[in-house]
């Protein structure tokens, strides 16, 4: 994770998702919450034999029911991004191979350069400083350029691993930065989609 922060069960427990755009139903909230409860327990006690089935591959392959007709659930892209972050951190936690993504296709659409440039993030919670906005914005501009033209030599250094391992300084005193867990989750999704993009290039 950026800034060498330790990913814990609390990150999963406090995760919050917005509603999907109008016209999309998103993922059923109860279905997602139930799975995240299992993930939270896994991170709290990785050796629990009852959760041995919860592997990085199982996290990436998980699908969710849709909410009832007429209702909107959780934003698919935000849930997918958190699950990708969980998969990467779970592999690290359990001593497995850490990869930036998986060929398993998730229901959410793949990111575009325009979506990366236009991404918005919450400010850090009260008392927290978050990630420096300028550093994050500059890095995301480079990520967007890589998505726009995967063959551009100026951003050839930007591999899926480089996206996953990006580090940012905390915001300066008196200023509130971006909420770190949202940035981490979004970068995990960027890394996954970039790997798939480069495989097709």
Could you read off the pLDDT of 115-132 as tens digits, one per residue? Answer: 898 888 777 765 667 899
Q: Is the Cβ–Cβ distance between 121 and 186 less than 8 Å? A: yes
Name the residue with higher pLDDT: 175 or 5.
175
Whether the per-residue pLDDT at 174 is higher than 80: the answer is no
Query: Is there a domain that residue 99 lies in?
Result: no
Whole-number pLDDT of residue 34: 93
Whether the per-residue pLDDT at 72 is higher than 70: the answer is yes
H helix or E strand, kind and range, residue 10: helix 9-13
Query: Is there a domain that residue 127 lies in?
Result: yes
- In this structure, the number of other CB atoms found within 10 A of the CB of residue 178 comes to 22
Percent of the chain scoring above 90 in pLDDT: 28
Query: Is there a domain that residue 39 lies in?
Result: yes
17-22: average pLDDT: 85
Same domain membership, residue 89 and residue 122: no
For all residues of the chain together, what is the average pLDDT? 83
Same domain membership, residue 179 and residue 130: yes
What residues make up the domain containing 71?
2-94
Q: Is the Cβ–Cβ distance between 40 and 64 less than 8 Å? A: no
Whether the per-residue pLDDT at 18 is higher than 90: the answer is no
Whether the per-residue pLDDT at 28 is higher than 90: the answer is yes
81-97: average pLDDT: 80
Same domain membership, residue 118 and residue 90: no
Q: How far apart (Å, rounded) are the C-alpha atoms in residues 113 and 100? A: 18
Q: What is the pTM of this model?
A: 0.54
Query: Is there a domain that residue 40 lies in?
Result: yes
- In this structure, the number of other CB atoms found within 10 A of the CB of residue 101 comes to 22
Query: Is there a domain that residue 100 lies in?
Result: no
Same domain membership, residue 78 and residue 161: no
Instruction: Count structural domains, the chain.
Output: 2
What's phi and psi for 81, nearest 5 deg?
-65, -45
Whole-number pLDDT of residue 107: 45
Whole-number pLDDT of residue 182: 80
Same domain membership, residue 117 and residue 88: no
Same domain membership, residue 121 and residue 89: no
Whole-number pLDDT of residue 100: 45
Same domain membership, residue 141 and residue 88: no
């Amino acid at each position: 994770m950026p800034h060498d922060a330790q990913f814990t069960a609390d990150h999963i427990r406090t995760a919050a998702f917005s509603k999907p755009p109008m016209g999309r139903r998103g993922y059923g909230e109860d279905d997602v919450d139930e799975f995240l409860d299992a993930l939270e327990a896994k991170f709290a006690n990785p050796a629990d034999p009852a959760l041995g089935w919860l592997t990085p591959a199982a996290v990436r392959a998980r699908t969710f029911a849709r909410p009832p007709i007429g209702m909107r659930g959780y934003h698919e892209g935000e849930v997918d991004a958190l699950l990708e972050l969980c998969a990467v951190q779970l592999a690290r936690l359990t001593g497995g191979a850490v990869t930036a993504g998986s060929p398993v296709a998730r229901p959410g659409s793949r990111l575009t350069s325009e979506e990366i440039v236009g991404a918005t993030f919450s400010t850090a919670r009260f008392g927290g400083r978050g990630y420096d906005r300028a550093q994050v914005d500059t890095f995301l501009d480079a990520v967007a350029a890589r998505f726009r033209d995967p063959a551009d030599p100026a951003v050839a250094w930007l591999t899926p691993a480089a996206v996953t391992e990006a580090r940012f300084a905390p915001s300066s005193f008196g200023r509130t930065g971006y909420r770190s867990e949202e940035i981490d989750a979004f970068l995990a999704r960027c890394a996954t989609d970039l790997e798939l993009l480069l495989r097709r290039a």
